Each structure stands twice: as C-alpha cells, then as structure tokens.
Amino acid sequence: MFRSLSLAAAIALAAAASPVLAETRSSVTIASPWEVASYDPAVAGFTIQKLQIMENLVDADATGALRPGLATQWAASEDGLTWEFTLRQGVRFHDGSAFDADAAVLALTRAWGQPGVLQKAPITQITAKEGKVVVTLDAPFTALPAFLAHATTIIPAPAAFDAEGKPVALIGTGAFAVSAFTPPQSISLMRNDAYWGEKAKLETATYLAAGRAETRALLAESGDADIVFTLDAAGYSHLSHVETVETSAVPIPRVVALKVNAAHPFFNDPKARQALSLAIPRDGIARAITRFPEAAADQLFPPALNRWHSAKIEPLQTDIEAAKALLADLGWVPGDDGVLTRDGERFAITLRTFPDRPELPLIAAALQDQWRDIGIELEVSVASYSEIPAGHQDGSLHVALYARNYGLTPDPIGSVLQDFGPGGGDWGAMGWENQKVVDALKVIASTSDQELRQANIATVANLLQQELPVIPVVWYQHTVSIDKNLEGVVIDPLQRSYGLSEMYWAKD
C-alpha cells in the first residue's frame, strides 16, 4: 500500500514541482466558508464586493465613515426627498464598456426590485439625469448613502445581464476582474490594470470556499491558503502556535441574540424577559464556547458599532437568585419536578435555532442547562434558520437564538429600524412595540443633525436594554489567520472587503 502511495506521490511531485519553483509570489489564496454559486448581487453580492470585483456608488472605511466610491459626491435636496449622486468620470467596466449613470440606474433598479436593503428605504424612483443618479423618496431618509454601500447594491456592467435581465456574468469596475469561476467552490481573479483607483499590488488571487472549519485550519497550516477567514475555536488556538502564520481576532458588529415572543403570556411582562437575561451565563459562554471572554454581550450593540455602543449603559448581569425572585413576583411557583407552574400551566418552552453557525446549538444547550436551574423547561429545536421568520409570522415562536449582523450597512439604522420599528421584525422584536423607540428611530433615520441623532440613539439603546425585546448573549469576533510574509493585510470589521488590493508579499 505504501509503495503505491509513495509512487503516486513521486509522480504528482514531479508534475507539480517545476512551475512552483519558477513562480514569484504575486498571488494569494483566500479561504473562507462561504460558497458562491450565483452571478446575482442579491445572492452573492457579499463575496463579490469583498473580492473587489464590483463596487458601490458609496464606499465606507473600517470605522463605518462613508467615502466616495463610484460616486464622488452626493447631496440631498432641502426637503430631504431627492438625493443626487455625482458619478466618477472615466471609469470602465472589466469588459471595456464605460460606467455611466444608465449602468448605475439599471443595476440599482434591479436591486430595488429584489428582496433586500433598498426595499427597506422609502424610495419612489431611481433615474439618470444629466449624468447623475437621482433617487427620490417619499420621506426624508439620511441613511440612503449608507444603503448604497450595501453589498447587494454593487454595480455590475450592463453586459453582466442577459436579455431577460438575469445576471449571467461577473463583470464590475473593481480592482480585480474574474478570470475563472467554478461554482460553488472557487473564483480566480486577475488584477484590473485599467482600474480607476490605486492598482492592486498582486497580479492574481484565488478565492476558495471550504465549508469545513477543519479543512480551513489545515489549509492555513500547510500554507495552501495564505489568508483564512472564520476559524473555529479549536483551529484558532491551534494556529496561534503555528510559526508560519499569524492569527488575529477582530470584533465585528455581529451579535448572538435571543428573540423573545413578547406577545406570549409567559413573556409579556418585561420582568420575565429580564429574568431570562439574568439566567444567561454570558461569561461562561464567551469563555468556553466562543472563547473570547471580552465578547460577553452586556448590551445589544457591540463595541465595533462605536456610535451605537455606549459605555454609559448599565451592563446586563448574570444572577440566578435575582432571576428566580423576578419569576416568583410574576406568580410562578416551583412544581414537584422543579419546573415552575402558574395557574396549572408549566413553564415549558421551545427555543428555535440553526446549525449554520456551529456555536449556536452549543449556546442553546448551555441555556437549556442554566434555565433548568430557574425552573424553565427548555426544548431546543435545531432546524433551518427560515423557521425563525416563519415562526415570527405565524406567531408560533417562543424564543429563538440567532446571530444578527448590525453592520450590513455602514450605518445600522436600516437593520435597527427593521428590527425594532413599528410592528417589530423577523429578526428583531416580536409582539413588542414601544412608541418612544419608534419616534426616536424616525428621528435617527431622517435628521442630519448629529447631536440630535446621537441623543435619540441613546434613547433607543437604553429602552432596548430595559425592555429586552431581544436579549443579547455574545458579540462576535472575526477570526483570521495570515501568512507571516504577507504584508498590507487589513481586516475590515464591517467585512466589506478582504483588502486584496492592498496586500503584497514581503521580499525575503
């Protein structure tokens, strides 16, 4: 057996060795868990944007501050209902065609017609006028430029669509053009030498989707992939001892949270939701499951969202005795088996979660164990994540555990409005509405007065902390391993870019 193995090894080595030696390092391989199988910005926009294949009218830096992208400037009319975006001149798509207002309007109109972020803005029309893109609204909405930085509002070339308007190619204006696409696993890129901005230092790059965390850790350790994103806890701690790579963890605006059905008789009193929160072992979960002790979420908005996170907020605590006392106040009495009862009803509930993020079922198991101590019998149902919005719609949901990204747009107002605005949201409040929050959100979405905006953000954050329609558990860290010889790597906490165009190999 070993003979045939080593024979095969020798043959393959002979075949592979010669080109490897001749190659200078002007290429990197990126590995991440997310597969790409579509040309559609609504489906695959996140990866297309991160790989710098296509670009937005508006760009953002690592702090979320907006900066010019394919639009050089933008301004709203005095009544706040008309926005004009002045476009960058002389930009060409990868196929050589010119980028202009018609191309931008075509792409944005399509994005607006798809389920996605633009449908959450009060848009009434998107048109081209005198070389500018004009967006009209039926209510003032200051976050519009931030929405145009979202991954699903990238601008493909008109040639990327077929006659029926279906996306059939990956043609953009970005620093890299696609040289080969093998869905769902890989995209090969080459430098766009006609790029309007600073050209990439690398000549080529490869994106590889590797679904298993073990595979990604091995890719990093062997050097087959130069940058590997999203490592599991075991892989991350192993790679931190490997000499050839550097590991890094960057806090990102994603939070693991519990959605509670506040219309359910068990949870309609804020005290009940506070009791659930007091019985969440945040420190233990952050230490033992996600393994970043500083990431225990004592408020909803993570530190990465510096305008929404507040040091002044009273942090959420863990206190089992206080939780029991709150439930006793609400009339719950321990039964013979330790499970609470009230008016002949047992405190037995179901938590819905999903396995796509492997830590979620583990956190659910920790909650199940901890909540038993305060007399709550929790059944955990691990299924498709679509069961959570489905349960929200038909009212059958009790509690749900999920991960929510508040950094999808550089300004999180879009997501917050969706989650805590009138009627709540599929990934936010359920059976809960607070007029003060609704009013404050309206101001945040429409004012351009920064001080007023900040005061209203504080109001929202404080009320969410007291009322707990959604209970935060842990914040996320973006884990990355990087080859030690690779320079210029910047990890974007908003996950808008892999920063490929800035990277270069150190000279030996």
Partner 1 sequence: MAHYFKSVLTVLAARGLQAIIVSVIVGIVSFAMMQALPGDAAFRIAAGRYGYDMMDAAAAEAVRLELGLDAPWFVQLWGWLGQLAQFDLGNSLVYGTPVVDEIATQLGYSLLLAGGAVAASLMIALPVGIATGLNPNSLLDRICMGLSIFLRAVPAFALGVVLVLIFAVQLKLFPVAGFRGIENLILPSFTLGIGLAAVSNRVVRDAVVDAMNSDWQLFARTKGLSARLTLTRHVLRNAALPVVTYVGVQLAYLIEGVVIVETVFAWPGIGHALVHAIFGRDIAMVQGTALTLGLLYVALNLCVDLACRGIDPRERAL
- The tokens for 153 are 């509002």
For partner 1, the binding residues in 117-176 under the rule CB under 8 A are: 117, 119, 152, 166-167
Judged by beta carbon, residue 140 or residue 389, the one nearer partner 1 is: 389
Q: Which residue has the tokens 């850790």?
A: 217
CB of residue 1 to partner 1, shortest distance in Å: 5
- Provide, rounded to whole angstroms, the least separation between the CB of residue 486 and partner 1: 18
- Among 26, 27, 186, 459, interactor with partner 1 by CB under 8 A: 186
Residues 57 and 133 sit within 8 Å (Cβ to Cβ):
yes
364 binds partner 1 (CB under 8 A): no
Q: Which of 63, 222, 306, 454 binds partner 1 (CB under 8 A)?
A: 222
Write down the least CB distance from residue 388 to partner 1, Å.
8
Specify the residue, 46 or 229, whose C-beta has the smaller distance to partner 1.
46
CA atoms of 220 and 210, how far apart (whole Å): 12
Q: Which is nearer to partner 1, 114 or 434 (CB)?
A: 114
Binding segment for partner 1 among 62-70, 213-221, 309-317, 362-370 (CB under 8 A)? 213-221
Does a cis peptide bond (omega within 30 degrees of 0) precede residue 183?
no
Choose, by CB under 8 A, the member of 26, 27, 109, 114 that binds partner 1.
Answer: 114
Closest to partner 1 by CB, 162 vs 345, is 162
Residues of this chain, 9-48, that bind partner 1 according to CB under 8 A: 9, 12-13, 15-16, 29, 31, 35, 37-40, 42-43, 46
User: How many Å apart are CA 27 and CA 33, to the nearest integer?
Assistant: 20
Q: Which of 352, 359, 356 is nearest to 256 (CA)?
A: 359
The stretch near partner 1 (CB under 8 A) out of 1-9, 121-129, 311-319, 372-380 is: 1-9
Site size toward partner 1, by CB under 8 A: 67
Contact 476, 254 (CB under 8 A): yes
Q: Could you tell me which stretch among 60-68, 203-211, 473-481, 484-492 binds partner 1 (CB under 8 A)?
A: 203-211
CA distance 32 to 189: 16
Torsion angle defined by CA atoms of residues 133, 73, 497 and 123, in that order, rounded to the nearest 10 degrees: -40
Question: Which residue, 218 or 260, is less far from partner 1 as judged by CB?
Answer: 218
DSSP string, 212-252: -HHHHHHHHHHTSSSEEE---HHHHHHHTT-TTEEEEEEEE
* 403 within 8 A of 438, measured Cβ to Cβ: no
The SS3 of residue 379 is: strand
Query: Which one of the spans 3-11, 96-104, 233-241, 287-295 is the region binding partner 1 (CB under 8 A)?
Result: 3-11
Residues 379-438 that bind partner 1 (CB under 8 A): 383-387, 389-390, 392-393, 402-405, 408, 418, 425-427
Q: Does residue 4 bind partner 1 (CB under 8 A)?
A: yes
Burial label, 240 (beta-carbon count in 10 A; 0-12, 13-18, 19+): middle
Nearer to partner 1, 134 or 390 (CB): 390
CB of 501 to partner 1, least distance (A): 23
Restricting to residues 298-357, which ones interact with partner 1 according to CB under 8 A? 354, 356
Enumerate the β-bridge partners of residue 486.
505
Q: Which stretch binds partner 1 (CB under 8 A): 62-70, 214-222, 274-282, 285-293?
A: 214-222
Residue (3 or 312) nearer to partner 1, CB: 3
The answer to the question of residue 185 lying near partner 1 (CB under 8 A) is yes
107: phi then psi, degrees, rounded to nearest 5 = -65, -45
Buried/exposed code over 144-168 (b: 16+ C-beta within 10 A; e: otherwise): bbbbbbbbbbbbbbbebbeeeeebe
In this complex, which beta carbon is closest to partner 1, that of residue 31 or of residue 272? 31
Tokens of 447: 């004012």
Cβ at position 128, least distance to partner 1 in Å? 26
Q: Which stretch binds partner 1 (CB under 8 A): 179-187, 276-284, 301-309, 342-350?
A: 179-187
Q: If you search the block for the tokens 């081209």, which residue do you land on?
A: 128
Min dist. Cβ of residue 314 to partner 1 (A): 29
Give the one residue of 212, 237, 265, 396 binding partner 1; rule: CB under 8 A. 212
* Selection from 36, 365, 386, 34 nearest residue 213 by Cα: 34
Query: Which DSSP string do the residues of 109-140 spell out, in sequence order?
Result: HHHHHSSSGGGGS-EEEEEEETTEEEEEESS-
* CA angle centred on 463, ends 459 and 466, rounded to 5°: 145
Q: Which of 165, 211, 331, 358 binds partner 1 (CB under 8 A)?
A: 211
Chain centroid to CA 76: 28
- Partnered with residue 288 across adjacent β-strands are none
Contact characters 81-100, partner 1, x per CB under 8 A: --------------------
One-character DSSP codes across 77-96: -TTS-EEEEEEPTT-B-TTS
Nearer to partner 1, 13 or 452 (CB): 13
- 394 by Cβ neighbours in 10 Å (0-12 / 13-18 / 19+) ranks as exposed
Find out whether 457 and 478 touch, Cβ atoms under 8 Å.
Answer: no
Binding site for partner 1 (CB under 8 A): 1, 4-5, 8-9, 12-13, 15-16, 29, 31, 35, 37-40, 42-43, 46, 114-117, 119, 152, 166-167, 182-186, 206, 208-212, 214-215, 218-219, 221-225, 354, 356, 383-387, 389-390, 392-393, 402-405, 408, 418, 425-427
